[in-house]
Structure formats: C-alpha cells, structure tokens
Amino acid sequence: MIREILIWPDPLLKQEAKPVAAVDDDLRALLDDMAETMYAADGVGLAAPQVGELKRCLVIDTSPRQEGQKLLHFVNPEIVRTEGVTHYTEGCLSIPGEAEEVERAAKVWVRALGYDGKPFELECEGLLAIAVQHETDHLSGTLFVDHLSALKRELIRKRMKKLKAEKAAERADDVKKAPRHESAL
C-alpha cells in the first residue's frame, strides 16, 4: 500500500523513532508499504517517520543509480564506523523539489536487523553510504536541511509551507467537487 509521505516542517519528522522490539508480520507489512511508497515516489530511500511511523526502520534501493545494488531493509540500524569525507547533492522525499550539497562520510559500516529479523553488518560506499546516513538521520529527527546554513534552511522551510498550503487547498477543492450522495433515510 502506498502511504502518504509527510512534508517538512511536519513536527513528526523532528521526533526520534523508537527501537523495534521484534521483526514480525506487522513490521514486514510496514517495510513492504515503505518500499512501495519509495518506488512510487521515485526515491532511493525512505525512513518510517516519513510515513508517520516512529519506528527505527528504513528501506533503501540505490540500484537505479548504483550498479550491483538491491532493495535493502534496515531495522534498528546503527552506523558503527565511518571513514573519509565526501560531498553529495541530496534531496528528500519529505522536501520535494529541493536539493543541496551536504557533507557526509565517504564510507560507512552499518549494523541492523534484516527483513527476516536476522542481524547483519554492511560496508557501504558511494550513493549507498549517503543514503544510509540520510535515512538514519531521519530516525533521529534530523533532515538534510539541518546540515545547511540557517538562511538556506529557512528559505526551504518557506517554500515547503507554501507547497503544503497548495496541497491542502487542492484537497479541499477535490472535496467540494465530489458528487453528493443523498441518504435514503
């Protein structure tokens, strides 16, 4: 099921996600929904808080832009080591239409539980390393704009508030245009 992606500055995006107690069918259903939502939005990663779930889990698939990759599920991810520095122009599904250069570690090692609930550790480079850092930030209530200057962040915040107002107005218009159903009571 495709879920609605929250748009910043939604306050839920600034909250810290809670650790997941167990990888069960309900969590796998959430992970499946997140992957479907990410693909529908043409993204490479999505964290649970972005769809309104304060759970420490995320999905990443950099295969469209990075050869040899596939859909990955991370439950309770923890970056255990970093190496080097790189700069990458990042965007975010919760901040549509915006992209800015962010400094990140060039290489990361992440430890997590997988879709099957089994622990794994993964060494990440390139876009995968960027995506792991970006999505893991979401679990702590941090967005890529938090890595920018206050001026840039405020300009983007104003554009996002305008976008949210426009979307709300469109939804209100859709409701007004919907046919009325008379009750037989």
From the candidates 78, 100, 135, 182, give the one annotated as an active-site residue. Answer: 135
Q: What is the pTM of this model?
A: 0.89
So what's the pLDDT on residue 68? 82
Q: How many domains does the chain have?
A: 1
So what's the pLDDT on residue 147? 94
Question: pLDDT means per 10 residues in the chain (185 residues)?
Answer: 95 97 97 97 97 98 86 98 97 95 97 98 96 98 95 94 87 75 54
Three-class SS of residue 96?
strand
Q: Is the distance from CB of 91 to CB of 148 less than 8 angstroms?
A: no
- What domain range is 92 assigned to? 11-148
So what's the pLDDT on residue 90? 96
So what's the pLDDT on residue 156? 94
So what's the pLDDT on residue 169? 85
Residue bearing tokens 């979307």: 167
Q: Is 135 a catalytic residue?
A: yes
Domain CATH code at residue 45? 3.90.45.10
Instruction: Give domain status of residue 176, yes or no.
Output: no
Instruction: Give domain status of residue 112, yes or no.
Output: yes
Instruction: Give domain status of residue 83, yes or no.
Output: yes
Mark 128-154 as b/e (b = at least 16 C-beta within 10 Å).
Answer: bbbbbbbbbbbbebbbbbebbeeeebe
Q: Is the distance from CB of 144 to CB of 137 less than 8 angstroms?
A: yes
